[in-house]
Amino acid sequence: MVLDTNRAFGCVKIDIRRERCLACGTCVRICPAEVLNVREGVLVAEPERGVGCLACGQCVCVCPRDAIEVSGRDLTRADAVLPDGERADYPHLRRLLLGRRSVRRFRDEPVSSEDVDRILEAAATAPMGFPPSHVGVLVARDRERVQQLRRDLLPGVRGMRKVMRALRPLHGLMLGREAAQGFRRFIMPIAQSYEDHDARGEDVFFYDAPLALHFYGRALADPADPVIAATLAMVAAEALGLGTCVLGFPGPLLRQSAKLRRKYGLPEKIQPGMCLAIGHPAVKFGRAIRRRFVEIRAVA
Ligand SMILES: Cc1cc2nc3c(=O)[nH]c(=O)nc-3n(C[C@H](O)[C@H](O)[C@H](O)COP(=O)(O)O)c2cc1C
């Protein structure tokens, strides 16, 4: 059997370079699909066994002799690369993460296309479910395009407020008591503020950012997939000296609007995912803020 998705059909090709393979079994132990075996001292690949080879590439990465090549399901031989330089260590990462703040004031300076590519390359390393990924990215690469996206999204905010105002007595039934309260006290006022600021020519939706990246999932994605990718994009942008702000509104609005999905070439069915406003911070953050989880419970 081969696990088909709307992007991955058919069988993967697993080439074993016999002259290099020692049949050590490292790839067998690591393979999540159990399509590799050592039989009578010889490595055997059965890419159609069980759920079939997913082209995760783990066997290629662990082989001490570089004896395996996998291609298919969006994986090519050229994708097996050596990570360059030294592995980032915890102190560096901690400094980066602790120093990050949501940025809502950006300098009037574009984000270079090289940096956009770097952010996307880093985000694409996210564990977005079994490959090939079902996560897409809508890129608004300059301020004009970000503003165009904002102008396109604002009518959806207005529509949402109108519908939700009309359905007010049913909020509790529709959303549950707590979520309904959150909606009334948090989401609705924010939605209102987008419109109020817009009337004054101010952008509190994308904060005049010179770049917006919206990570969405196609129908078969898990809702977490685009969020994980967006989170890595946020960290990558931070590493490049840029600032980011997570934006929760664009996703549901794009999912709702067939007209906008058509305009921006998005698939018919998408998961809301997560959007990032990105740019050069206008303000320097001198201090970090420690944050904590609501609770950490141990399994007794
Ligand atoms: C799902 C989600 C949606 C968010 N949407 C917005 C938003 O629309 N506008 C905004 O200014 N911040 C938004 N944020 C950012 C949070 O407000 C931010 O995480 C919070 O202010 C904490 O600030 P810090 O990043 O500086 O710690 C969102 C965060 C999440 C997780």
Q: Is the CB of 203 under 6 A from ligand 1?
A: no
User: Which ligand 1 atom sits nearest the alpha carbon of residue 291?
Assistant: 27
What pLDDT, on a 0 to 100 scale, did the predictor assign at position 4?
A: 53
pLDDT tens for the 300 residues of the chain, in order: 455 564 555 678 999 999 999 999 999 999 999 999 999 999 999 998 888 898 999 999 999 999 999 998 888 888 988 877 888 899 999 999 999 999 999 999 999 999 999 999 999 999 998 888 899 999 999 999 999 999 999 999 999 888 888 888 888 888 888 888 888 888 888 999 999 999 999 999 999 999 999 999 998 899 999 999 999 999 999 999 999 999 999 999 999 999 999 999 999 999 999 999 999 999 999 899 999 999 999 999
C-alpha distances out from residue 22 to 15, 33, 69, 134, Å: 14, 21, 15, 36
- The closest residue, in CA terms, to atom 1 on ligand 1 is 248
Contact (Cβ atoms closer than 8 angstroms) between residue 266 and residue 138: yes
What pLDDT, on a 0 to 100 scale, did the predictor assign at position 5?
A: 60
Distance from C-alpha of 239 to C-alpha of 245, rounded to nearest angstrom: 14
Cα 247 to middle of ligand 1, angstroms: 6
Domain ranges of the chain: 13-79, 98-151+205-279
**Top-level class of domain 13-79:** alpha beta
Q: Is the CB of 252 under 6 A from ligand 1?
A: no
Question: Hey, CA dihedral for 105, 110, 116, 122, is it positive or negative?
Answer: negative
What pLDDT, on a 0 to 100 scale, did the predictor assign at position 3?
A: 55
Question: Ligand 1: which of 188, 202, 206, 245 to mutate, judged by most atoms within 8 Å of the beta carbon?
Answer: 245
Report the SS3 class of residue 244. strand
CATH 3.40.109.10 is right for the domain spanning 98-151+205-279: yes
What pLDDT, on a 0 to 100 scale, did the predictor assign at position 295?
A: 97
What pLDDT, on a 0 to 100 scale, did the predictor assign at position 170?
A: 82
Tokens of 216: 């969405």
Q: Is the CB of 247 under 6 A from ligand 1?
A: yes
Q: Is the CB of 246 under 6 A from ligand 1?
A: yes
Q: Is the CB of 102 under 6 A from ligand 1?
A: yes
Q: Is the CB of 76 under 6 A from ligand 1?
A: no
DSSP 8-state code for residue 291: -
Q: Is the CB of 193 under 6 A from ligand 1?
A: no
Measured between its terminal Cα atoms, the distance across the chain in Å is 40
What pLDDT, on a 0 to 100 scale, did the predictor assign at position 293?
A: 96
156: CB partners within 8 A, 6+ apart: 253, 256, 257, 260
